[in-house]
Amino acid sequence: MKVRSRFCLKSVEKKLLVAAVLSLFFAVAPTRGQVSLSLSRGAGYAMQRDLGVSPISYQGLAGRMGLGVDVRLPRWSIEIDRGTLAALYESGTFGEDGNSMGYGISSCQEVCALRQMWTHGRWLLMAGPMLSSNLALKLNPELFNASFGLSGFASLSLKGRICFDFGREDEDYRHYRFRFYGQQTLSPMTLAVRPGYSYIDNYSGTTDQLSAFLETYELMALAAAEWHSELGVKMQMPSGNRIGLAYRWDYCTTYNAGAWRFDEAFHMAVASFDFILK
Amino acid sequence: MKTRILLLAITVSFCFASCEKLLMPPDAESTPTATFDYLWDKVDKQYAFFDVKNVDWQAVYDSLRPKVNDKMSDDSLFAVLSAMLNCLDDGHVNVVSPNDVSHCQGVFSRMINNTNYDENIVMQNYLKANYHTTGGFMWNTLRDGRVVYVRYSSFSNSASPKYFQYILNANPNAEALILDMRQNGGGSIVSEWDLLSCIAHPDSLKLYTSQIKNGPGRNDFTTPVAVYAPDTTSACKPCGLPIAVLTDRGTYSAGSFFTLCAKEYPNVIVMGDTTGGGLGLPNGGQLPNGWRYRFSITRTLANDGRNYENGVPPDTVVRLIPGQTTQDNVIEQACQWLVSNIAAK
């Protein structure tokens, strides 16, 4: 019964996402705003250390797929992004014989509203709040019953972005060919759920397995637990569509708030494609 | 002003971006001394059975720590770590290096020296040449088909209810069953539930309670969770026949769990020797030098409130008669009990 309700929840989440996108689209339709669909693909370096199972940092390769919607209004930009991230880790020095291997997959959602704070010539500064969630599944098959770990982070963040336009100016559309941007996201408040002291679910019997799931996990409130940086450049095509290339850094930690400190970082090169819908 | 502060904040934060190493404490040292201390500390804070193992863990540290130094070889370190974990006398405790896996010598010795099972006798006189193999079960009939003898040697082998049902269907005249779990060293706990789901039981039959270590103190455990008999499945009609479960010191881990549970079923009797124990779920982790370990972090309490980590006693103690080469005394007594039980009904 619980499994079914979980699937229902997932289905509801999807419907809500579609409804949100459609609402934004129609809300902006009568205005001078612009709606674009953003696809991104990234690859790079991943690092994690979970003191619940190992004092050693794991390093490896990661890939990210993103799908988002950006709504640009005269003074605001509303951005929704949904990403899936997969990583393959090794303990110790990457590529050495005898290393333990781990796998991770995570699902991230972000919604942010950036307000135009300042403009000066080709410079633009935007800032605003962001809500994000990140649910990650970690597998390390060699660690017996501790081989499975679930981590969930939900954050309220502040995001700031500096843009600089350069290149030839398109007089018809009043924009420059290239835009360099740098953005920072810091989370003043994060709620995290992580495996607790035992790092194991109390699956002592089949009848209790579902109800015992997450029983031994712990919930914690953290300050400055997530940090994201991005430096990139976007090129605007004559059609209005944009292609971009960026370096992205994501870091999250539980500090020493829970039973076991958890740190995770990604360094990625991300290619993005923005298709103008309106 | 606000804009300047914002600009400054973004610019300054870029100086620290991408430098997660600055924000994280360094990895633990991977020296032999650091590895020894790490494992000792992990066991000290998370191992679930200090109360029943009678181990002075601090004394273990005091005696073995001087034998560790940062110039020692990996093999020497492995030997010291193995010796340390051996003190726990627990078959669920291991350290795993690239070249070796430690094991509990006490459990191994008891399993081998106190075996209550002779495979040759069973194969030649009970399973015989015409035995059947159904899933993970080997079986044949005894006493003119009135008793079905089922040998289940490992919980790593499938105990799917459909196989159990096949055996019952193949022997419609069977009046009793022997489940031979001797020298069954355990395996998947799922197989245990599969097998238990084939046995008829009253509603809400409580089997045991389980607790997880949730703090560094010796008595830091979660609230006890009661575990009940699993629901029967459509794959197997619940078996209400009298069942004798045979055990010995080699019945370990999932084998001991099964024995503990089976004792609660009204139509089951456990005969043979005390099991090897192993009623905690082992959890794993990694050491600073990259080796791995595991030890038990849960405990299981029987319905009488006792912790049978060191072995589940049988309802009736029966041992092999030394020198017997054609008869298994445990199977014979089980047959006798089952037949007399049938007759009494």
**Does residue A216 register a pLDDT over 90?**
no
pLDDT at res. A7 = 42
Q: Nearest residue of B to residue A265 by CA position?
A: B20
What is the ipTM metric for this complex? 0.84
Asked if B225 lies within 8 A of A212 by C-beta distance, the reply is yes
pLDDT band at B272 (very low <50, low <70, confident <90, very high): very high
**Homologous superfamily of B112-280+299-344:** 2-enoyl-CoA Hydratase; Chain A, domain 1 (3.90.226.10)
B-chain CB neighbours of A99 within 8 Å are: 290
Q: Side chain identity at B254, as an amino acid letter?
A: A
Least confident of A76-85, A209-218, B49-58: A209-218
In this prediction, residue A6 carries a pLDDT of 41
Does position B271 have pLDDT exceeding 60, yes or no?
yes
CA distance A175 to chain B (A): 23
Straight-line distance from the first to the last Cα atom of chain A, in angstroms, rounded to the nearest whole number: 43
Residues B208-252 pLDDT 10s: 998 989 999 999 998 888 889 988 888 888 899 999 999 999 999
* Residue B160 contacts A where some CB pair is shorter than 8 Å: no
Distance CA A97, CA B19 (A): 27
Q: Where are the domains of chain B?
A: 112-280+299-344
Is pLDDT at A162 greater than 50 in this prediction? yes
Helix, strand, or coil (residue B7): helix
> How many Å apart are CA A123 and CA A141, to the nearest integer?
50
Mean pLDDT of A12-33: 65
| pLDDT score of B28 | 87
Pick from A52, A184, A253: CB nearest B13: A184
Q: Quick check: A216 contacting B, CB < 8 Å? A: yes
State the average pLDDT for chain A.
85
B146-205 pLDDT tens trace: 999 999 999 999 999 999 999 999 999 999 999 999 999 999 888 999 999 999 999 999
What pLDDT band is residue A2 in, cutting at 50, 70 and 90? very low
Is residue B1 scored above 80 in pLDDT? no
Task: Please report the pLDDT score of residue A10 as a whole number.
Answer: 55
Which residue in B170, B247, B147, B160 sits closest to B197, CA to CA?
B160
Q: Nearest C-alpha of chain B: how many angstroms from A141?
A: 10
Chain B nearest CA to A96, separation (Å):
11
| Identity of the residue numbered B263 | K
Tell me which residues of chain B, numbers 40 to 99, contact chain A at a CB-CB cutoff of 8 Å: 46, 98
- Ramachandran quadrant class, A240 (left: phi over 0; alpha: psi -120 to 50; beta: rest): left
Q: What are phi and psi of B307, to 5 degrees?
A: -105, 110
Q: Where are the domains of chain A?
A: 31-276
Q: How much is the pLDDT for B22?
A: 84
Tell me the average pLDDT of chain B: 92
- Nearest residue of A to residue B204 by CA position? A207
Q: How confident is the model at residue B293 (pLDDT cuts 50, 70, 90)?
A: very high
What pLDDT is stored for residue A92 in this prediction?
75
Q: Choose, out of B4, B19, B20, B22, the residue to mutate when testing the contact with A (most A CBs < 10 Å).
A: B20
CB-count exposure of residue B184 (10 Å: 0-12, 13-18, 19+): buried
- The answer to whether the Cβ–Cβ distance between B38 and A205 falls below 8 Å is no
Chain B residues within 8 A of A229 when measuring between CB atoms: 13-14, 17-18
Give Cα separations from B40 to A25, B37, B62, B75 (angstroms).
60, 5, 11, 18
Residue A246: what are its φ and ψ, rounded to 5°? -145, 155
Mean pLDDT score, A168-192 = 86
Q: Which two tokens stand for residue B323?
A: 């020198």
CA closest to B2 among chain A residues? A117
User: CA of A183: which chain B residue's CA is closest?
Assistant: B10
* pLDDT for position A212: 67
Domain A31-276 belongs in CATH node 3.40.50.620? no
Task: Kindly report, residue by residue over B79-115, the tens digit of the pLDDT.
Answer: 999 999 999 999 999 999 999 999 998 888 888 888 8
Beta-carbon separation of B225 and A253 below 8 A:
no
Q: Please name the helix (run of DSSP H) or strand (run of DSSP E) that holds residue A116, with its range, or none.
A: strand A101-120
Q: Which residues contact A17 (CB under 8 A, 6 or more apart)?
A: A80, A82
CB contact under 8 A, B285 and A146: yes
Kindly report the nearest CA distance between residue B38 and chain A, in angstroms: 9
Flag if B283 and A145 touch (Cβ within 8 Å): yes
For the segment B65-78, what is each residue's pLDDT rounded down to a tens digit? 999 999 999 999 99
